[in-house]
Structure 1
């Protein structure tokens, strides 16, 4: 409800204005002097002010001048409503910054039209200011992203350049092999970052290619988990997997499903300490009682990690890296969870995160469709 401040020393006119505006659905606040009106404006910051000119003490002209000098009140729409109908009075009021000037006696429709016009203009200005603010924030975000991106792209290249110099002077096969391993790892890190940037750009521009196909959920998930099971064991982390349900053939985006599970397991490996635990729970439930083919695939990846709950919202920001990765080499590109969130959104799924008691859990629901008839098992 829009708030209108009416400043008028004539009690009858003030009461009539209040009744008229309240019937139109406005929240009306009244003042009978300029000084009282200024105090009310400073207290409630109304959406629009209607004021007489000739009032005892602080007159309408001085009131408007005071308002326009206050940064918090300067842009409130202001309408003069006065018996002073001379052209010089009207021009003086508009010169001081009034948005409109109506003379007494006035028609109700004339006043309501002036109010509607001024509020609509104010709303348009507010929307424009909001748009400008969003563009400024977007520009700042792009600058921050470019700054981080420049640093992250330079880091592997700097390491490769340094290792190449060392490789030229290596005096043993062992040193050469060690330097080649570092060089290979830094090349992979650079390629991962470039690929993640390209994937994220496609997802954000809604140009990501969706390749729906018929595949086995069981085989798809088993393949990814088997790959990461070895890495988890190498990190001396404990892995617990529940029984993966036999869902048989489905129709959907297998590549995105594999990418989502890969990002979750990659994140769990990075932030689970040695001798820590990683749990994988996979299930599904029917979403449409009238169709046995529609269901939600649910998988929950939980791991021991000291990530405070207040840090959770930041996990999906571009290039954000939590402070407790096992080492700087485990930090990755900082885009994995951002891509994960975009992929889940693209697949019309849901993603929730919970962090408590030394555990963090990511739970994802993805809608899929079974393919009929249902075979017992198929190969990927």
Structure 2
């Protein structure tokens, strides 16, 4: 969903094949690549596989509100910035238009659609989307530039402690020397962690901007056992292994399809955040639930901070420079940024809930 030099990919959804073919022809003449779907299921399958920059969808397909339902399903993928939607409708009543706009529809086109109006709306919405993407890129660059400050602080701490050791050596204070050596080790671990996470985040941003690599990852999905991948995530993290006694897993049979490497990284980051943002010695509970209406992995931790759900979601979205301030909170910025990037790469559906002092991170399959 990033600004690209080539013309954009458009997903056209309508249960009338003739309308799709006729209107797509005008878009293709303008140089756009058009992917076609005759129902919501086909549209979602295409959206998962291709990099779509704009969706044009009829409202009344398999049911009278199918277009709105498709919009909600696409929104569950939490793609940031969101993919713009243009609805087609023969309905002109104000209530119908208001429903779509309340959902977040970019625009409406009344059937029958004139080719000139179609092209104008598409160009306008893609221009607006590109501006949003440029702002998003600027914010992520600003975020990257902020991270080295943490590394500088760690390095300055190392120099400071080394000077203290020199002074302690002159006084032959062995106990003080041992104390500062331990502090140096701690700062080295922090520095190593900052560097590793910065490199990981940079790599993920690189994947998101490389459509070929992105599709390669999304096409390399295997059947994965939820319990096994949770164990893999825990065992791959020194931090989680050191806090293994704080993690409880309620085992259940759940097989889903994903990229094993990236989903393991995603779950690792979520559990690490759960540990970091919960009171010391409290238990992080992980439950695997299967149901007809959807399968989920739910990660629960106690949460006694004052930050709200809306503020946390803004940390994921980078939606404005004002809201960007939450990324400055120690521990929030880079971990949540990695989670958001991995979720976008894997097209994962996730949500968070806060009930009293309990925080839930819910991964949906």
State TM-score, norm by structure 1. 0.49
In 2: Cα distance, 1:271 partner to 1:321 partner: 19
Contact 1:156-1:187 within 8 A present in 2 as well: no
Q: Which residue of 2 aligns with 1:159?
A: 153
* Per-residue Cα deviation, 1:61-97 (whole angstroms, up to 9, x for no partner): xxxxxxxxxxxxxxxxxxxxxxxxxxxxxxxxxxxxx
Q: Which residue of 1 aligns with 2:252?
A: 245
In 1: Cα distance, 2:256 partner to 2:341 partner: 23
2:252 counterpart SS class: coil
- In the alignment, structure 1 segments of 5+ residues that lack a partner are 1-118, 288-295, 367-380
In 2: Cα distance, 1:317 partner to 1:364 partner: 17
The Cα of 1:254 is off from its aligned counterpart by 2.0
In 2: Cα distance, 1:358 partner to 1:322 partner: 23
The Cα of 1:322 is off from its aligned counterpart by 8.9
In 2: Cα distance, 1:219 partner to 1:192 partner: 24
In 1: Cα distance, 2:325 partner to 2:276 partner: 10
* Per-residue Cα deviation, 1:343-365 (whole angstroms, up to 9, x for no partner): 441xxx53232223232222223
Structure-2 change in CA distance of 1:281 and 1:204 (3 Å): farther
Q: Which residue of 2 aligns with 1:317?
A: 317
Of residues 300-309 and 328-337 in structure 1, the stretch that sits farther from structure 2 once superposed is: 328-337
The Cα of 1:164 is off from its aligned counterpart by 4.6
In 1: Cα distance, 2:119 partner to 2:224 partner: 51
The Cα of 1:260 is off from its aligned counterpart by 2.3
Q: Which residue of 2 aligns with 1:221?
A: 230
The Cα of 1:185 is off from its aligned counterpart by 1.6
Structure with the larger helix share? 2
The Cα of 1:301 is off from its aligned counterpart by 0.7
In 1: Cα distance, 2:253 partner to 2:125 partner: 51
Larger radius of gyration: 1
In 2: Cα distance, 1:363 partner to 1:297 partner: 10
Q: Which residue of 2 aligns with 1:308?
A: 308
Matches within 5 A, 1:277-288: 277-284=283-290
In 2: Cα distance, 1:127 partner to 1:269 partner: 45
Q: Which residue of 2 aligns with 1:365?
A: 364
Are 1:272 and 2:278 counterparts?
Answer: yes
Matches within 5 A, 1:1-380: 124-125=119-120, 127-152=122-147, 154-166=148-160, 168-169=162-163, 170-171=165-166, 172=168, 173-174=177-178, 175-206=180-211, 207-208=213-214, 209-210=216-217, 211-212=220-221, 217-225=226-234, 230-232=241-243, 239-242=247-250, 244-245=251-252, 253-274=259-280, 276-284=282-290, 298-305=296-303, 306=305, 307-318=307-318, 328=330, 332-345=334-347, 349-366=348-365
Contact 1:344-1:350 within 8 A present in 2 as well: no
- In the alignment, structure 2 segments of 5+ residues that lack a partner are 1-113, 169-176
The Cα of 1:271 is off from its aligned counterpart by 1.9
* Per-residue Cα deviation, 1:226-277 (whole angstroms, up to 9, x for no partner): 666654468xxx54432x1356x98753212312221220221222123544
| Number of residues of Structure 1 aligned to a counterpart in Structure 2 | 230
State TM-score, norm by structure 2. 0.51
Contact 1:156-1:190 within 8 A present in 2 as well: no
Q: Aligned-residue CA RMSD in angstroms?
A: 3.9
In 1: Cα distance, 2:310 partner to 2:161 partner: 45
The Cα of 1:220 is off from its aligned counterpart by 3.3
In 2: Cα distance, 1:222 partner to 1:255 partner: 13
In 1: Cα distance, 2:118 partner to 2:257 partner: 47
The Cα of 1:189 is off from its aligned counterpart by 0.8
Structure-2 change in CA distance of 1:231 and 1:130 (3 Å): same
2:289 counterpart SS class: strand
Structure-2 change in CA distance of 1:322 and 1:262 (3 Å): farther
In 1: Cα distance, 2:277 partner to 2:325 partner: 8
Structure-2 change in CA distance of 1:224 and 1:146 (3 Å): closer
1:335 counterpart SS class: helix
Q: Whose relative contact order is higher, 1 or 2, with alpha carbons under 8 Å and at least 6 apart? A: 2
